[in-house]
A and B are shown apart, each in its own frame.
Chain A
Amino acid sequence: MNVVLTALVTSLAILVGVLTVTAWGIWFERKFSARLQSRLGPTMVGPVGLAQPLADLMKLLQKEDLVPEAADRAVFNLAPQIAALCALGAAAVVPFSAHIIGAQIDLGVLYLLAIGAVTVMPVFMAGWASNNKFALLGGMRALAQSLSYEVPLVLSAMVPVILAGSMDVSKIVEYQAAGSWIAIGPVWLGLPAFVLFLLAMLAESNRIPFDIPEAESELVAGITTEYSGMKFALFYLGEYVHTLVASAVASALFLGGWDGPFAPGLHWMVLKSLALFTFVYWVRWSLLRFRSDQLMKMCWYWLVPISVALLLGAGAWVVL
């Protein structure tokens, strides 16, 4: 009983925590991008616009729930829910501190990669079910793109796994806490693997320069063209949660997770994740977009060979 209760409370706390951080992550992004563009960003709702996420939520809740007549209703309605679920589900195995973790499973990294790969499904479902040509093109691009970035993502995530000798995310963080962060040492393989992981992460969470499935200047709104109200909000939420969780995963795998001096582990984990989150948005608001064939070319010509080499290098380091 006690175990179940603890698990329930922990997972609820993580869920609420992730959603809250995401909501104000959106506020932060809007403020941040506004300062980049010499604008003010949200100012009207609450002090410095802090209540803007709540206002957005209220607005989206009040919207009419539109389903296009020719759409595949069941799939159309299911897609945003899966998108949000997948993104939140990934948070389960991320160790936010030595003790705050939703589920400590031995194959944590595998689970993360699998659930990350599944997030392409709702995107394609939405693209197909909307019965809209722009959405279809977006879904098609998402599939084509996922084939190319998943390989370097998985291979680069394997580098810390091999070095730490475990697929458990907590074990990997403990290994880093005992030695040094994988992005820094002890081998020079960590840093390039970290960079590759970041690039593939940008592609997986559909962020500029790889936001090709959405591409609002080309495909109107890509897969979300026909979505409105809460269904759109779920897609939107899923995207941001995905980015946030991916930042947390990257900091756990490469930047030592909750390991850090002076402050409790949770502080360090949140700090590192938010730093990566900010980095993602800094990139988003500064760069232009690649073309999808250019992304695939980059992945297959550069990222895959490099990540294979890194994997071999990591294996050689452990064996020798």
Chain B
Amino acid sequence: MLQTLQVERRVDPHLSIDRYDPEAELLLLHMGPQHPATHGVFRMDLYLDGEIVVKAVPYVGYLHRSVEKLCEKLTYSQVTPIVDKNDYVSPMTNEQAINMAFEKLLGIEVPRRARWMRLVFAELQRIASHLLWLGTFAMDLGGALGGGSTVFIHSFREREMIMDLFEEISGARFHYNTHTIGGNRHDIPAGWAGRVKQALDVIEARIGEYEAMSLHNRIFVQRTRGVGVIDAGLALELGLTGPMLRACGVDHDLRRDAPFHAYDEVPVNVAVAHGGDCLARAEVRFAELRESVRLVRVTVDSIPEGSINGGKPIKLPNSIKIPPGQTYVGIETPRGELGTYVIADGSANPYRLKIRPPSLHALSALPYMLPGGTVSDALAILGSVDPIMGEADR
């Protein structure tokens, strides 16, 4: 399964600066938490020799909201809108993951219609999330006053179309709260499938434009090829998932390898690239954009009829009690494997709820990728990781 890339020498992330630089001639640059390119509040300490990064130390936790503890204090039905805010670029997959864990503990069979709807939502969300990644990545490469922001605003225009579609479903543009234990809360309105396909036609045409602006742009390729290389072995050691892992040549995608929703009925073509660098990660995400457009096209028309909720109606917040037990559910979000581990003790609240965010693991690769590159490379690499700090810090 593994096609390991050979690298001669790995970077030592624990390099002792005192020993490396006894004269203290390196420049210590605190990048973040307030910095235009740190995607929220992320901080890295860069030890610079001129412009070359010698050592990078990432710090997370500036956006810690103690979501896991908060979930322990809430009842099962109240958890969904809280986890919405974890990965705030892809809220749909957050609520799907948490509700799937509860459903698994309760042993509820989710109706086929609800599972198909979840698949369509997840894929639309993937398109929106990757579009946001493209915009912010281009901003990291080209600046807020320049070509980067042109890509940014254009990709946000298409993301807006998907948010409009979700608004029709749930009434909310961002934090949807449309999944619930046992199925979905809101049914698809009439004519929605047609509007989805109209939006997809526009988006698919525009993806070609974005490829011309990025993958086929010489400056983009020069800035990303061979930058931030990570080998497959290290990627697996660090627990990288999603596009980060697939860009290293590891063919792994939970949608195909451990199907959830209705992915067992709809075959998924998994995009894999072999460079392990920023360019490979961009290629994987572009391929996934096209694949998601295809998946939504083939599924949105054939969503089966039936009920959208297999659980009993929730009348009071504490009416759902989960018998003692524990479970883990992992689903493939736009950023990788989002895991949810729940321990239930028979009461109306989870005893312990642990979320495994893909962004946190992806950020752990930074100390290996940054050294050897310049400051400009550092931000290109950070952009290619596509970290969402709300999810990494929880």
Contact = CB atoms under 8 A, between A and B. Distances in A.
B47 to A, nearest CB: 12
B143 A216 contact: yes
> Max chain A CB contacts within 10 Å: which of B146, B153, B219, B220?
B146
B228 interface: no
B234 to A, nearest CB: 24
Q: Is the interface of B mostly helix, strand, loop or mixed?
A: helix
A219 B219 contact: no
B36 A208 contact: no
Contacts of A215: 143, 376
Contacts of B48: 137
Contacts of B288: none
A288 B37 CA distance: 15
Nearest to B27: A133
B22 to A, nearest CB: 21
A133 B222 contact: no
Contact of B149 (A37, A133, A140): A37
A288 B154 contact: no
- Chain B, interface size category, equals 20 to 34
Given A38-B153, A38-B154, A218-B375, A290 B223 contact: yes
Given A209-B219, A220-B35, A288-B217, A38 B157 contact: yes
Given A38-B157, A288-B217, A208 B147 contact: yes
Interface stretch (A11-19, A50-58, A279-287, A306-314): A279-287
Contacts of B379: 217-218
Contacts of A133: 27, 29
Contacts of A212: 376
Given A137-B51, A289-B219, A290-B219, A217 B147 contact: no
A291 interface: yes
Contacts of A37: 149-150, 153-154
Contacts of B223: 288-291, 294
A288 B146 CA distance: 7
B164 to A, nearest CB: 16
Nearest to A285: B150
A36 interface: yes
A292 interface: yes
Which 9 A-B residue pairs are closest in the complex by CB-CB distance? A288-B142, A208-B146, A37-B153, A287-B147, A217-B37, A288-B141, A291-B376, A288-B219, A217-B143
Interface of A: 33, 36-39, 133-134, 137, 140-141, 208-209, 211-212, 214-220, 284-294
9 contacts: A137-B48, A140-B50, A215-B376, A217-B139, A217-B141, A291-B222, A291-B223, A291-B376, A294-B223
